[in-house]
Chains A and B, each alone.
Chain A
Amino acid sequence: MNYLIVGNSAAAIAAVEAIRQADPRGRITLVAAEPEHTYSRPLVSYRLAGKVGDDLMSYRPADFYDRHRVETCLGEEVVAVDTDARTVTARSGRTFTYDRLLLATGGRPIVPDIDGLAGARGVFTLTSYDDARRIDAYLTEHGVKQAVVLGGGMIGLKTAEALLARGVKVTVVELADRLLSATFDREASEMLETALRKHGAAVCLGTTIERVLTSQGAVRGVRLTTGLEVYCKVIVAAIGVAPELGYLAASGIETGRGILVDDHLRTSAVGVYAAGDVAEAADMLLGGRRPIPILPLAYRQGMIAGRNMAGADQAYRGGIAMNSIEVCDLATISVGLTAVDEADGYEVLADRDAAAGAYRKVVLRDNRIVGVILIGDIDRAGLYTGLIERRTDVGRIKHLLLSSEFGLLSLDPEYRKHMVSGPGIEV
């Protein structure tokens, strides 16, 4: 079997590991646009902060490709897929053949259409190693003391934290009424805003950049839609990532917002799979399909796609939006639907002590947990994640859900015996 993997981050690496476990003999080729050995993409903000050096950026050990007998072609950007000829073509003109193809090309940061943004010096995104190096050099070269981060999601917040660590004063600008809007509610956002402000950041919600102010082509500030002007030499656009689909235009592979995949991570083309930020896969909570660009799902999708490429028959049961982020010493974990209206049939249990930096919120629907926020004490958060995924009826233990002692012991004996005795945790 001739396996071809396009991409080199979590989904691609998971697929390599899964394929090699199932098929010791098949030929695996990995093609990726970036030249680096597989690195941890979420660590690029830590690299910018100076908290992680180049030596610890690797996502897998230096001998990973050798040990898994993977032929790598790094620095080759794929520009076309021919599903009839079963070939993939790179910008260099090099062509690769496949029996099974995995598209794990990830997302591209969205740069919004804002007056003055395009082409101005000092405008960056931060999703790649190269981005981190370029921002790093620019900060030093221009003695940057102030920056604006556009977007209060996961990447925006980690970028803000990294810039603060570099001694840069940061203003976070977010269009929604709250930070981390995918999984946070207003109350959780307020606590994070307080932590950010304590560390010297400014937070502007419900607004965006109306116009970028430049001087001789370089950023000197922004004007927000509120009329506020903020002086800065650097803007980092972090409003999200969009699946990278340009190279599929002539392939006939069905796309929506991302590459559409079925419950086995198969695309519409025979032998072609997709996983990770580029894929539009099932959403377990909301139903339907949508890209959920988070690393745990990228890995899981890559792993299942890899197994299926090697002949297994494993269904992907869908993903849930979730975030674990510690910013400015405030640990937060948020999973699923949390900003809900009880009038819509949700039941909300919540316990908040903002002064102590503690918040615990559990959202239920029909006695099943659909969302959770933990701030401060995040221990055993995964228990809630597991209950959400299994759609476990928690009607009998509702009174225990907000307890900091909530643990496996709180659950039905059968459930906990299965969880501690079973060979694997099958969800």
Chain B
Amino acid sequence: MKRIYANEDLCIGCRLCEIHCLVQHSKSKRIITAMMRERDTVSSRVKVQESGQVTFALQCRHCEDARCLEACMTGAISRDPDTGAVLHDADKCVGCWMCVMACPVGAIQRGAEGHVASKCDLCQGEEVPACVENCPNEALAFEERPK
């Protein structure tokens, strides 16, 4: 399946991916409105990690053996049978954080309002995820790679 891959040699740590992820998942989908008025209801699902000179952006890996899906007690996390993406249904989530306990890369967070989990959905419906589309240095790629 197509996944998002980070290249830490190219990442400059600008965090534009975080901003565009948040905007993409906001109600308004407008950068100023989302950043100024919606930050208590929506957060970025991609997080830039930074240590000295090394930076890279991390989001859900959509694992083949998805520990979050195994651990999800309500059935809120499922796999899209067509794309293989691991998706999260906020309506079915009760915030038990089993997925947070299980994700071995630490890519699932508690959502901005603190009651349901929040994770990358590969920007369902978009050709290219917002973080990849808006990365200024091609440090993120959306592609299929051989196993």
Contact = CB atoms under 8 A, between A and B. Distances in A.
Whether A and B are associated in the same complex: the answer reads: yes
Which of A322, A380, A422 gathers most chain B CB within 10 Å? A380
A427 B104 contact: yes
Interface stretch (B22-30, B69-77, B120-128, B131-139): B69-77
Contacts of B147: 423
Contacts of B101: 296, 322, 324, 333, 335, 378, 381-382, 385
Interface residues of A, number: 48
A33 interface: no
Interface string B93-106: 01111111111111
Interface in A38-60: 40-43, 46, 51-52, 56, 58-60
Interface string A349-388: 0000000000000000000000000000011111101100
A385 B94 contact: no
Contacts of B5: 420-421
Contacts of B47: 407
Given A333-B97, A408-B49, A420-B6, A59 B106 contact: no
A319 B3 CA distance: 29
Given A420-B61, A423-B147, A407 B106 contact: yes
A40 B63 CA distance: 23
B105 A408 contact: yes
A89 B131 CA distance: 55
A296 B99 CA distance: 9
Nearest to B109: A379
A298 to B, nearest CB: 9
A383 B6 contact: no
A382 B105 contact: yes
Nearest to B70: A299
B39 interface: no
Contacts of A424: 63-65
B106 A56 contact: no
A85 interface: no
A426 interface: yes
A379 B105 contact: no
A42 B73 contact: yes
B3 to A, nearest CB: 8
Contacts of B61: 419-420, 422, 425
A409 B104 contact: no
Nearest to B115: A326
Contacts of A46: 94
A382 B103 contact: yes
Contacts of B65: 424-427
Interface in A52-75: 52, 56, 58-61
Contact of B58 (A42, A52, A56, A420): A420
A88 to B, nearest CB: 26
Given A52-B94, A324-B100, A383 B105 contact: yes
B75 A58 contact: yes
A303 interface: yes
B54 interface: yes
Interface string A308-333: 00000000000000101110000101
Interface string B39-74: 000000001011100101010010111111011011
A409 B98 contact: no
Given A56-B91, A58-B75, A324 B97 contact: yes
A60 to B, nearest CB: 5
B92 interface: yes
A32 interface: no
Given A51-B94, A410-B51, A378 B71 contact: no
A382 B100 contact: yes
Contacts of A331: 97, 110
Given A43-B74, A59-B74, A324-B101, A408 B94 contact: no
A14 interface: yes
A180 B144 CA distance: 44
B105 A420 contact: yes
Contacts of B74: 40, 42-43, 56, 59
Nearest to A386: B104
A43 B73 contact: yes
A56 B71 CA distance: 18
A300 interface: yes
Contacts of B97: 324, 326, 331, 333, 378, 381
B44 to A, nearest CB: 13
Nearest to B146: A423
Given A56-B91, A382-B99, A382-B108, 18 more contacts: A42-B74, A52-B94, A295-B71, A296-B101, A296-B102, A300-B70, A324-B97, A325-B96, A379-B100, A381-B97, A382-B67, A382-B105, A383-B105, A389-B104, A409-B54, A419-B104, A420-B61, A421-B145
Rank and list the top 5 A-B pairs by shortest CB-CB distance, nearest first: A386-B104, A424-B64, A380-B106, A382-B103, A296-B71
